[in-house]
Amino acid sequence: MAEATGELNADGEQEEAYFYRERIKCAPDEEDRLERQHFWKVIDAFRYYRIHVHERVNRSERQFRFLPEHHQMLLPNFLPNLAKIRHCVDHNQEVLQAIVLNCIHMFENMEYGEDDDLRKVQPSSTFDMDKLKSTIKQFVRDWSETGKPERDTCYQPLIDEILRIFPRDKCDASKVSILVPGAGLGRLAWEIARLGYACQGNEWSFFMLFSSNFVLNRCEEVNSMILYPWIHQFSNNRRSSDQMRPVTFPDIKPQSLPPNSDFSMVAGDFKEVYTEPNTWDCVTTCFFIDTAHNVIDYIETIWNILKPGGVWINLGPLLYHFENMANELSVELSYEDVKAVILKYGFQMEVERESVPTTYTENEKSMLKYLYDCVFFVARKPAHLFSNGFQTANRCQFEESEQNETNDDMT
């Protein structure tokens, strides 16, 4: 993702493409086999979508036909609405199939080696189908005009802090390295790169990776794609039409980054991919730290990879993803405990707001809405730490100091 290729478009001009590369360490053969198995499991979920949702619609029809006939006659639009939902499902499947067609060879160093045309669609678990439905709603959050209010609430505070800490009029933004773990469909990382910073997104979920690859590489025209993200919601609909309303994406051309932008997306587990110490000027996390089995692992990783003087900017709740999953390690800490660990590692809290109300993939027409009361903070790894025997400082502070010295010499 965000490595320029040498392909030419129809006009003979060089196009930029953003492709994924895995940087995970080489694994034993068994681990490679499990990885390949998981890859195709997710592909199957994308393909099984139509069958899965049609089964749900068929159940609604069966339930309706069990009603007394005089009750059915009171609802003349019920079955026609189900027919419309089936049409929306079919359209969603076309988009999902387009995503699948573009992801089989998306990794540089991993060929999954099966003849995709010969594979039959395999049934998927309810768990995987729920993940896919959530991914469909991510297109709304990250790449639609409908999702802009949510992005303004969740992403803009993070971007504002980046601009404050690394002001573009005082430092070379292209030399400020920013990492966005849990990048999802990539919009936050893309927006940071659009401002001129060197930004890399990291994502582990194949559901997200396949979808972000599609948006960033294949969606060339604004609002050229349509999805029906709310058709899976059969409860809390004020109007029948609300369930079937379309959302167009992308709201902006993903290929419109400025020339020479340094933007990339890396696939893999955050803790395994990012092991090199003192590498990043800034780590920006949004709705991410609660995806950990053990949030302390994330804190430790962020501490290690930040340069002395670097900052960690975070916004999100603590809805621990593995809390109710059988046979999965999950340590659920209060924010009070999380903050205590952050401080014990040596971070200095520079900004902290414990009440930032936000939504996440909200259906604005639904009669049920969830509101997260998030925490927002900026934590700095002290600049006085030593790296390779030399004292280091925040990049912008260092460059500003150099500029002041130059100005003094000139006077």
Q: 58-68, pLDDT tens digit by residue?
A: 999 999 999 99
Higher pLDDT, 405 or 358: 358
- The overall average pLDDT reported for the chain is 88
In this predicted structure, what is the pLDDT of residue 14?
37
In this predicted structure, what is the pLDDT of residue 114?
54
State how far the Cα of 132 lies from the Cα of 146, in Å rounded to an integer: 20
What is Dmax (Cα atoms) for the chain? 93
Higher pLDDT, 386 or 343: 343
**284 and 313 in contact (C-beta within 8 Å)?**
yes
In this predicted structure, what is the pLDDT of residue 12?
38
pLDDT tens-place string over residues 128-145 = 999 999 999 999 999 999
Higher pLDDT, 232 or 112: 232
CB atoms within 10 A of CB 287: 20
In this predicted structure, what is the pLDDT of residue 198?
98
Closest CA to 267 of 2, 40, 22: 22
- CA separation (Å) from 3 to 20, 111, 320? 9, 19, 33
In this predicted structure, what is the pLDDT of residue 406?
46
State how far the Cα of 347 lies from the Cα of 377, in Å rounded to an integer: 11
Average pLDDT on 77-87 reads: 98
pLDDT tens-place string over residues 156-202 = 999 999 999 999 999 999 999 999 999 999 999 999 999 999 999 99
**212 and 138 in contact (C-beta within 8 Å)?**
no
In this predicted structure, what is the pLDDT of residue 109?
44
State how far the Cα of 16 lies from the Cα of 263, in Å rounded to an integer: 11
Residue 396 pLDDT class (50, 70, 90 cuts): low
pTM for the structure as a whole: 0.87
Cα 148 to the chain's mean position, in Å? 15
CB atoms within 10 A of CB 170: 12
In this predicted structure, what is the pLDDT of residue 13?
38
In this predicted structure, what is the pLDDT of residue 29?
78
**181 and 202 in contact (C-beta within 8 Å)?**
yes
Residue 390 has pLDDT above 70, yes or no: no
In this predicted structure, what is the pLDDT of residue 28?
66
CA 271, 359, 60 angle in degrees (round to 5)?
A: 100
Average pLDDT on 314-319 reads: 98
Average pLDDT on 256-284 reads: 96
In this predicted structure, what is the pLDDT of residue 151?
98
Q: Which two tokens stand for residue 263?
A: 């933007």
Average pLDDT on 316-322 reads: 97
CB atoms within 10 A of CB 181: 27
Closest CA to 139 of 57, 203, 225: 225
Residue 35 pLDDT class (50, 70, 90 cuts): confident
Q: Which of 9-13, 113-117, 150-154, 198-202 has the lowest mean pLDDT?
A: 9-13
